[in-house]
Structure 1
Amino acid sequence: MVTIQTVRSNNAALKDLGPGLVAVFVGGTSGIGLSTARAFVKNTTAPRVYLVGRNQEEATKITQEFDKINPESKTTFVKADLSLLRNVDKACSEIQAREPKVNLLFMTAGYFTTKGREETAEGLDRKFSLHYYARWRFAQNLLPQLTAAGTSTPLSRVVSVLDPNIRTGLVLDDLSLKTHFTLGNCAAHACAFNDFAVETMAAANPNTAFVHAFPGLVNTGLARTFGPVLRVGVGILMTVLKPFMVPLPESGERHLYAATSQTYPPKAKAGEGAALGSDGVKGSGAYWLSWNGERMENERLKGYRAQALGKTVWAHTQEVFDKIRGTEGGKY
């Protein structure tokens, strides 16, 4: 376990990286994304922060808060419904017009639902799109900026927060879950696809590190969006689970560590202190991490890796992107 003292020591030293670090927080106006952005602003010199989300009112409050935490910081809100890839592309274009380099892409976009499949205008399930397709469209779009940072600065990293562990098998003949959607299948596919994306992107981009991180149990305030009955039930559950939960501020600190520590370097910059990557190779550039910074393993994923399923999933991902964004009004 990475101690909180180690985490805080790493974060406090981020000022040594120099001024002007650029970070993009996808889903950064609440929960873990916001907590991590707050820690980033607090611990860096003259950072430029992009918060991508839907809540303009909340973003205005956050910007004012960040200005007080670090008067040298600059926070920009990019408003977008990220369940649609066309909106992801628009948000990325807005960032790219301002920034030649991006040091950190931190992604927590998602939402809780008890409903079944909710198909978007682009033919994807809304939850699945937010947890996987939209995130990696962001990463793919911003690769030029991430690569520029990786070749000229000490930090270039992509972090997707979900869960590297999968607990059920995948539906291999329906990867997008068009006809086999359940919440369980959606969770398994989104988690596994993030795992594969981290490994695929790290192999192709040796100057950028890629992390898939599990946050543990964190009270992100999600219950405020529920109805009164469910909100009471969740409140009781949170009280029972409190001794086992990671406080939200600590979660932000720990995720900032995962996003910046040289323990998880890009493949091209792996040193003696590098952690084992997801494939068991030291400093591979792809990392599956638990809430406490330790490496996560997944026996089921090992079997899928042996089948080269990562290549199949990435080819599927590109097919989805091409069909939706290849033509105006495209649909998968």
Structure 2
Amino acid sequence: MVNLQAIQAHNATLKSLTSGLVAVFGKFNLLQHATRYGEAVAARSHRKALHLTNPLPVGGTSGIALSTALALARHTTSPKIYLIGRSQSAADTAIASMKTINSSAQPTFLQTDISLLKNVDSVCAEIAAREKAVNLLFMTPGYMTLKGRDETAEGLDRKFVLHFYARMRFITNLLPLLNAAAQDASLNSNARLSRVVSVLDPMVSVRAGGSGTLDFSDLSLKDTFSLKKCGWHASLMGDFFLESMAQKNRHTSFVHAYPSGVATGVLRELPAGRVLSAVLTPLLRPIMVPLEESGERHLFAATSGRYPPKAEGEDMEGDVAIGSDGAKGSGCYWVNWDGEVFPPNNKLERTRGQDAVEKVVQHTEEVFKQVCEQGKTYP
């Protein structure tokens, strides 16, 4: 476990990097009570440094994206932070909190619904028109549902889009800007941050006896959808797509991060959620990660040299994580909530051995071609 003191010490060094780091947070999930956390942290920031061992009580739904964005604002100089989501009023409040934490921060809200890939393309084009480089792409989009397949106008399941297709589309669209950040000759190597973080769960398909397999005959789950299978496919396909990206883009690192249970208040968004939250939250609190701590830990995952790109990691000495393919510093990392990488898993190795990386990439590129380039509904 990477202890919290080490994470705080690392994050405190980020101000020494070049100013003006560019970060994209998609999707920025804010609901009715999300900004209480930001407001409280902003008020405290003028009184004392963060003491994350005394977690701040949070009311309602906040989120990992918000807590990480606020941590980034706290620990960097003049960051340019793009927040992508649907609620303008909620984002306005969060931006005000961010400016209170760090008056030099430059937050921008881009309003869109990224359950449609065409909207992902549009918002990425807007970012590309404003920026020459992006240092960090941090993604947490999700869809809390108990219903079955919910197909969008593009022919894809909404939950599957938010957990996989939209995230991978963000990556492919913003790779030129990420690569530009990685190869900025005007900066020393320590300041050339270029990283993608996708927060979900790289190991969900093998938890509780899961098989860790993919249905290669129906990767989009058009015919065999279930919520469980969707969770498995989104996780595994994300694992292998990120691995492929790390091999092809040697100067950018890719992290698939498991947040564990985080006190975001998400139970309140389910049917009868307020009752569930009132009953379960006191029971779960001792084993959950406080939201402030989660933000600091995810900022560490997003910036630490422990997870280097392949071009640098292969020859690095010291504390370098083992990549998802089992090689030290190989550019793609499946990271647990505590900063440690997950150990090799025989079930996932068997699936990888079925040409999973190649099949997932081929399928994803086919979806993007039909939906994004040809404007068709995916069959």
Does structure 2 conserve the Cα–Cα contact (< 8 Å) formed by 1:29 and 1:62? no
Does structure 1 conserve the Cα–Cα contact (< 8 Å) formed by 2:145 and 2:270? no
Aligned residue for 2:65, secondary structure, equals helix
Task: Tell me how far apart the structure 2 counterparts of residues 286 and 127 of structure 1 sit (CA, whole Å).
Answer: 24
Shift of 1:119: 0.2
What is the CA deviation profile of residues 212-239 of structure 1, one whole-angstrom value per residue up to 9, with x for unaligned ones? 0000011212133234x23212331222
Structure 2 match to 1:237: 280
Q: Match of 1:50, as an amino acid?
A: Y
Does structure 2 conserve the Cα–Cα contact (< 8 Å) formed by 1:92 and 1:142? yes
Q: Match of 1:23, as an amino acid?
A: A
Q: Match of 1:196, as an amino acid?
A: F
Matching of residues 1-332 of structure 1 within 5 Å: 1-30=1-30, 31-152=63-184, 153-165=191-203, 166-167=205-206, 168=210, 169-227=213-271, 229-270=272-313, 271-273=316-318, 274-297=320-343, 298-332=345-379
Q: Match of 2:286, as an amino acid?
A: P
Unaligned 5+ residue runs, structure 1? none
Q: Match of 1:272, as an amino acid?
A: E
Give the TM-score of the pair, scaled to structure 1: 0.97
Structure 1 match to 2:42: none
Shift of 1:329: 5.0
Does structure 1 conserve the Cα–Cα contact (< 8 Å) formed by 2:29 and 2:141? no
Shift of 1:328: 3.3
Structure 1 match to 2:45: none
Task: Tell me how far apart the structure 2 counterparts of residues 38 and 101 of structure 1 sit (CA, whole Å).
Answer: 21
Task: Tell me how far apart the structure 1 counterparts of residues 240 and 358 of structure 2 sit (CA, whole Å).
Answer: 8
Does structure 1 conserve the Cα–Cα contact (< 8 Å) formed by 2:138 and 2:196? yes
Shift of 1:241: 1.2
Task: Tell me how far apart the structure 1 counterparts of residues 183 and 351 of structure 2 sit (CA, whole Å).
Answer: 32
Does structure 2 conserve the Cα–Cα contact (< 8 Å) formed by 1:29 and 1:53? yes
Shift of 1:66: 0.7
Shift of 1:69: 0.6
Does structure 1 conserve the Cα–Cα contact (< 8 Å) formed by 2:307 and 2:333? yes
Does structure 2 conserve the Cα–Cα contact (< 8 Å) formed by 1:324 and 1:330? yes
Task: Tell me how far apart the structure 1 counterparts of residues 308 and 175 of structure 2 sit (CA, whole Å).
Answer: 17
Structure 1 match to 2:43: none
What is the CA deviation profile of residues 58-80 of structure 1, one whole-angstrom value per residue up to 9, with x for unaligned ones? 11001111111110110000111
Q: How many residues align?
A: 331
Does structure 1 conserve the Cα–Cα contact (< 8 Å) formed by 2:240 and 2:357? yes
Task: Tell me how far apart the structure 2 counterparts of residues 244 and 92 of structure 1 sit (CA, whole Å).
Answer: 37
Does structure 2 conserve the Cα–Cα contact (< 8 Å) formed by 1:288 and 1:295? yes
Aligned residue for 1:97, secondary structure, equals helix
Task: Tell me how far apart the structure 1 counterparts of residues 269 and 132 of structure 2 sit (CA, whole Å).
Answer: 37
Aligned residue for 1:76, secondary structure, equals strand
Name the Cα RMSD after superposition: 1.2
Does structure 2 conserve the Cα–Cα contact (< 8 Å) formed by 1:289 and 1:296? yes
Task: Tell me how far apart the structure 2 counterparts of residues 199 and 60 of structure 1 sit (CA, whole Å).
Answer: 36
Task: Tell me how far apart the structure 2 counterparts of residues 329 and 285 of structure 1 sit (CA, whole Å).
Answer: 34
Shift of 1:269: 1.5
Give the TM-score of the pair, scaled to structure 2: 0.85
Unaligned 5+ residue runs, structure 2? 31-62, 185-190
Task: Tell me how far apart the structure 1 counterparts of residues 232 and 377 of structure 2 sit (CA, whole Å).
Answer: 26
Shift of 1:330: 4.1
